[in-house]
């Protein structure tokens, strides 16, 4: 399976969170439910692709692309 930053997924694509690379951002992301092993799906993207809305654990969360670059996911088929 291919590992990529969450920011590279297109609307409708899913992945499993492998790691969060920025220790400062990790606290905020973990508090929002972005934990390693969780499935994440990109649901929406703003007109200029920033921010994006992701679904994780049944919740819809908005992230800036800069934040999403810190989340490494394994792409799901």
Give the CA distances from residue 44 to residues 19, 21, 22, 64, in Å, rounded to whole numbers and listed in that order.
22, 23, 24, 12
Which residue has 């992230």 as its token pair?
63
Query: 7: domain range?
Result: 3-75
CATH of the domain at 67: 2.30.30.90
Q: pTM of this prediction?
A: 0.87
Give the CA distances from residue 59 to residues 2, 3, 22, 32, 62, in Å, rounded to whole numbers and listed in that order.
25, 23, 22, 9, 10
User: Are the C-beta atoms of residues 42 and 11 closer than 8 Å to each other?
Assistant: yes
Model confidence over 25-61: pLDDT tens digits?
778 888 888 889 999 999 999 988 889 999 999 999 9
Q: How many domains does the chain have?
A: 1
Give CA–CA dist 73/2, Å, rounded.
8
């Amino acid at each position: 399976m291919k590992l990529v930053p969450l920011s590279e997924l297109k609307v409708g694509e899913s992945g499993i969170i492998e790691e969060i690379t920025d220790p400062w951002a990790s606290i905020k992301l973990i508090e929002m439910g972005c934990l390693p092993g969780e499935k994440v799906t990109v649901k929406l993207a703003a007109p200029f692709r920033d921010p994006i809305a992701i679904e994780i654990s049944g919740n819809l969360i908005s992230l800036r692309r800069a934040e999403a670059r810190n989340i490494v996911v394994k792409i799901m088929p």
